[in-house]
Amino acid sequence: MGKEAVRAIAQAQDLTLVGCLTGRHHQGDDAGVIAGIGPIGVPLQTDLAAVLAETRPDVFVDLTVPAVIERHLDITAAAGIHTVVGTTGLPESRFGAWDAAFRQQASAALICPNFALGAMLMIEFAKQAAKYFPDAAIVEWHHAAKVDAPSGTALRTAMAIGQADAGATGPEAPSLGERVHGIPVHSIRLPGLLAHQEVIFGGPGQVLTIRHDAMSRECYMPGLLLAIRNVGRLQGFVVGLEHVLALTTGSNP
């Protein structure tokens, strides 16, 4: 995901990649070379505070893991750097403090469980369907290395369905998956998969299925670039790419 993001940002005509972080590997190497697009003059570094002081970026993008992102959010909030995060699993107990910290610096953090625009539409269509189909279930498939289950996208879908129809439920049966906001969610982790989700609504004599398939990580890049370009229009700690879509389309998230 990080390599894909480097390629997308470096090739966007209206954006400039000024710094890039890594873990223990490839320190000092050119980020463009590692991403497969050739030298771009941006070395991989390991110290976020040093990179921010050296490059003074408008936006910081973090696509790592919650334990690392927590530390990074503390740093970018204090520095007043707009931040775009692509992960799930951050502790909700810290959301309020991060919101206050970013607002104090007139900056924003945008947390996106999913950058795929198709996935955002899937959630929106599911919200509409929930008004007419009270019985629903979610099945999500991801690659074997994905550690969280249910996925962040499945959690947000279940929440959206529950908010759209307070009576939304799934049929009672002991074999059904974990219930989120009353909706059964089934999680599958297998090699060969990337990211796939079905939202299934059942009614007398009919079934409605809304499905999204991510075939490659390239599908996340339009949403990531949209988040980067618009995070500066937000304030505080915001969860969900739909808030940026609302800014660009004039609709309510």
Q: Are residues 99 and 141 in the same domain?
A: no
Q: Are residues 154 and 93 in the same domain?
A: no
Torsion of CA 212, 217, 223, 226, to 10 degrees: -170
- CATH of residue 33: 3.40.50.720
Q: How sure is the predictor about 179, in pLDDT bands with cuts at 50, 70 and 90?
A: confident
- CATH of residue 174: 3.30.360.10
- Annotation marks residue 146 as catalytic: yes
Q: Are residues 28 and 107 in the same domain?
A: yes
State the Cα–Cα distance between residues 26 and 38, nearest whole angstrom.
15
Across residues 109-131, what is the average pLDDT? 94
Q: Bigger pLDDT: 178 or 61?
A: 61
Number of domains in the chain: 2
Is residue 121 within 8 Å of residue 88, measured between CB atoms? no
Q: Are residues 95 and 20 in the same domain?
A: yes
Q: Are residues 180 and 167 in the same domain?
A: yes
Give per-residue pLDDT as tens, 95-113: 999 999 999 999 999 999 8
Q: C-alpha distances in angstroms, 90 versus 19, 72, 113, 227?
A: 24, 12, 10, 19
Is residue 186 within 8 Å of residue 140, measured between CB atoms? yes
State the Cα–Cα distance between residues 179 and 149, nearest whole angstrom.
12
Across residues 223-246, what is the average pLDDT? 94
Give per-residue pLDDT as tens, 42-96: 999 999 999 999 999 999 999 998 899 999 999 999 999 999 999 888 899 999 9
Active-site residue, selected from the candidate residues 127, 142, 186, 243: 142
Is residue 191 within 8 Å of residue 202, measured between CB atoms? no
Active-site residue, selected from the candidate residues 26, 146, 181, 196: 146
Q: Are residues 102 and 226 in the same domain?
A: yes
Q: Are residues 128 and 182 in the same domain?
A: yes
Across residues 13-40, what is the average pLDDT? 92
Q: Are residues 107 and 223 in the same domain?
A: yes
Which domain does 51 fall in, by range?
2-111+218-249
Q: Are residues 124 and 200 in the same domain?
A: yes
Q: Are residues 87 and 154 in the same domain?
A: no
User: pTM of this prediction?
Assistant: 0.85
